[in-house]
Amino acid sequence: MIEVDKFMSALFSADAIKGELEATIQQAQTALEGFSENSGDLNELEQVLDYVRQLRGIFQVLEEPGAVSVCDEMNAALNAITDDAESRTRILEAASQTLVILNRFLELITLQQKAVPSVLLPAINSLRVARKAPALGEAHFFEFSFKPGKPPGGKPVRITRETLVRLKKFRHMYQAGLLHLIRGDRTAGAVRYMGLALSRIDQLLGNAPCAPLWWVAAATLEAMVHNDAAMTPARKKLFSQLDRELRSLIQKAPESLKQPSSIALTKEFLYLLTINNSDSLRARQVTRFFQLPTLSYSESTLNEQRQVLFSPGRGVLTSVAEALKEDISAIKDSVDQVARGGAFSAKDLHQRLAKVSDVYVMLGLQSPANVLKIQADKVGRWADNAAPSQEELLKIADVVLYAESALSRLLQGQSQLDQEGDNKAFKAQVHEARVVLIDESENGLALAKRAISAYMDSNGDKLHLSNVIPTLHGVRGALVFLNSEQASSILARTIVFVERELLEKGTLIDSSQLELLADALSSLEFYLEGLLSNNENLDILKLALHSLNNLHV
């Protein structure tokens, strides 16, 4: 009975605190609106600051450091308001948005009891940017001290002119992936390609004083790919910052290679590695070397909390889309029933098509919405009980198939293609076939890389290569079908190298040749991923050509 009383007391206390926070946030919002309408009334501003201080005190008691920092930043931003109209508007907008986020934050701590402090960094940084202060990194709340380093390797690395040439090549690879990442094109493939570039840089720099950052960054990207980590705007900025670090490393070489790497940047990547647990060899080595702590949360926890704070509409969107699937199924059943000679009501079908069209407009799927509306208008002109012809039924089926395909892509988080023409469904099916072809080609290239690695590991057992040539020829045929003649030509040269050096001569190529061959195949993989978004990145093919030229094929 005593335990039940304690539980009820704690529950009442939590509800009371939440109610107090909600009331204080509401009062702060009202006072902020009053000051926005009359910026000369400093009493209103002082009221806002007083409510923010009250919120800070409560969050301090609740031991929510992220929310405490939000209050500190809001206090700093509001105190930075000047007579400049543009600056004042910027700060007031940021403060208003932050109070809305704090309201959602209450739901978060009610549902999950403890928030990850860094989940509030977007709100913190919006306030900092509003008052022109530098943004904080994602590792801001990561209390971890370390000394940069890397386990001793084998041979000491000699920095030569060739080292710089290869560094520039690997930077081009990294930039190619980064560009796709920033655009939002196939982000998983982009991060994998960036990770490959960082892996090469790590191997190239060995135990140079500047090397620890690149070792840690390479391990982190491997772990992030493994965990399908979110590529937030803050992380894209971090990867861009790493590119600038690489540019500086190249421009100031060879002296820059003898300097220790950035501790702040290394810490950012160590934090990301800590929350993205991975079994990859490099990730485990970095974790062990730096003795990274085990946190009470992970990337998935952080992502769930982000959804609560910043994507409240996603659940609603999914619910609407799921209901829409039921309406589409009903239309398909109706068409199927008529095709079998069953009862038909043009009025009922018209209403269903019009309703679905309106919902598609709401979801932002304008192209299928237009097609559905045109079809609904046609059906609306039919006599109510007159059975439609077979041709008319097929047109309805085509339209519904196209609309269903667009909805499926929305639910999978993919962008809807803007397709034109009369037969929308046919074009959607062609696109799906193209996707399958590209995915199969990527799998073929990955299989070839694994087989060649197995051949090398087995000291030249050609059995591992038995399927490589047919697989690569299949990929080459797919590239021809995809109208990628240059990529097909590059793959043809790759096939010549494998046939000549590995199958005919039985050569055990050295590590540098294996690296070049792997880079060429990986570049083709990433090129294929770009084709999915109709982005034929010829710079990627230049990198593949560079690798093949160095193989003298």
Fold of 2-130: Four Helix Bundle (Hemerythrin (Met), subunit A) (1.20.120)
Segment 149-206, tens digit of pLDDT: 898 875 566 777 888 888 999 999 898 888 888 877 667 788 888 999 999 999 889 8
Region 461-470 average pLDDT: 81
pLDDT band at 488 (very low <50, low <70, confident <90, very high): confident
pTM of the model: 0.66
Look at residue 374 in the predicted model and tell me its pLDDT: 84
Cα–Cα dist 258/501, whole Å: 38
Does the CA dihedral 523-526-528-533 come out positive or negative? negative
Helices (H), ranges, 206-262: 211-226, 233-251
Tell me: pLDDT of 519 over 90: no
Higher pLDDT: 292 or 362? It is 292
- Give pLDDT tens digits for 385-407: 777 777 787 788 778 887 877 77
Dihedral sign computed on CA atoms, order 526, 532, 533, 535 = positive
Please report the pLDDT score of residue 241 as a whole number. 93
Q: What is the pLDDT of residues 208-252, one digit of tens each?
A: 899 999 999 999 999 999 888 988 889 999 999 999 999 999 998
Half-sphere exposure of residue 110, counting CA atoms within 13 Å on the CB side? 19
316 vs 423: CA distance, rounded Å:
31
Mean pLDDT score of the chain: 81
Mean per-residue pLDDT for 320-347?
77
In this predicted structure, the answer to whether residue 544 has a pLDDT above a threshold of 70 is yes
In three-state form (DSSP H/G/I as H, E/B as E, the rest C), the secondary structure along 130-161 is HCCCCCCCCCCCCCCCCCCCCCCCCCCCCCCH
In this prediction, residue 417 has a pLDDT band, given cuts at 50, 70 and 90, of very low
User: For 161-309, CATH number?
Assistant: 1.20.120.160
- Cα dist. 99→55, 96, 407 in Å? 11, 5, 34
Do 430-550 and 2-130 have the same topology in CATH?
A: yes
Q: State residue 318's pLDDT score.
A: 62
Model confidence at 415: pLDDT above 50:
no
Checking if the pLDDT of 427 tops 60, the result is no
Which range (20-24, 65-69, 335-339) has the least confidence?
335-339
With 0-12 CB in 10 A as exposed, 13-18 as middle and 19+ as buried, what is 246?
buried
Ranges 152-166, 316-330, 487-501: which has the least confidence? 316-330
- Lowest mean pLDDT across 76-80, 276-280, 289-293, 317-321: 317-321
The residue extents of the domains of the chain are: 2-130, 161-309, 312-418, 430-550
Sign of CA dihedral 89, 94, 97, 99: negative
| pLDDT exceeds cutoff 90 at 6 | no
Say if CB 398 and CB 428 are below 8 A apart. Answer: no
Which of the pair, 362 or 459, is modelled with greater confidence? 459
Average pLDDT estimate for 342-364: 78
Residue 122 predicted with pLDDT over 80: yes
CA distance 218 to 84: 45
The per-residue pLDDT for 543 is 82
Pair of tokens at residue 544: 């593949």
Q: What is residue 12's predicted lDDT score, i.e. its pLDDT?
A: 37
Specify the pLDDT at position 112.
58
Please report, rounded to a whole number, the percentage of residues in the chain having pLDDT higher than 90: 24
Confidence of residue 14 (pLDDT cuts 50, 70, 90): low
Asked if 198 and 174 count as a contact pair (C-beta separation under 8 A), the reply is: yes
CATH classification code of 312-418: 1.20.120
Measured CA to CA, the distance from residue 363 to residue 156 in angstroms comes to 58
Which top CATH class is 430-550? Answer: mainly alpha
Cα 25 to chain centroid distance, Å, stands at 32
Cα 207 from chain centre = 32
